[in-house]
Structure 1
């Protein structure tokens, strides 16, 4: 892989890798660092890509492993991080319908982000990346049946919490 190819890959997959790292860590800066490290690792490990899964799945696996290494590191344990980043300021005022839609979306993602790691990870991979169960299982290194049960359980938890909060 040459530098031009790396640049193209980063342009194509940056937001997906960063989003995944963010969902794993809940920290914007750490997600940026993880995404950068994942692309650097992919640059040096391109020879290990065998084509058994999609290239995106391979990059997501590298990002996942990098995130877990970050979380296990002494630095991660010593630093106290904000539990949630502050909301970005809106520059355009929206209509009432757009406001309520955004509120509902924010609430849904708050519920998803509060899920236990194993449910949050499988649900966000399914929602954001639309990977087949087989690729999810390979990426997470768990059986396909476990992926299906975690997805089902995560969806049920989210639905139950949404019902609770609407009452």
Structure 2
């Protein structure tokens, strides 16, 4: 059937051929591209690019293979080119595709965050143990005030007071 379909179209009829190829193979091609890039939005964009390439290079088709095979070869090459591209290696698309961040920016953010974390840990370690433990249990272990009270063997009100005082002391030390 495919051979008859391909022979039925003349080169003069490129737009009809293009529409027919998109209708017949569009979803299959999209799945193929997705299997390379593992991202729906990028796969959709690349699939459009592939059909544009296909259309623009139709005049070079020599008929040595089926059109579908030729289209698949264009798709595979295009996907491999994309995977090697600067864009793919250096740009990260977040869930909100309107915000694009380069890997370099992310590295800088990680370094800055580590520095801030180190400063916080240093300041935390200068606190008396009674304040350190409530900070640790509340923020890192995410325990409830009542659970911290049981662990530290002090009243819930004492835990609240220590937590408030620990925050004040941390703020003072971090401002220094």
TM-score normalised per structure 2: 0.43
Between 1 and 2, higher relative CO (CA 8 Å, sep ≥ 6) is seen in 1
Q: Which has the larger radius of gyration?
A: 2
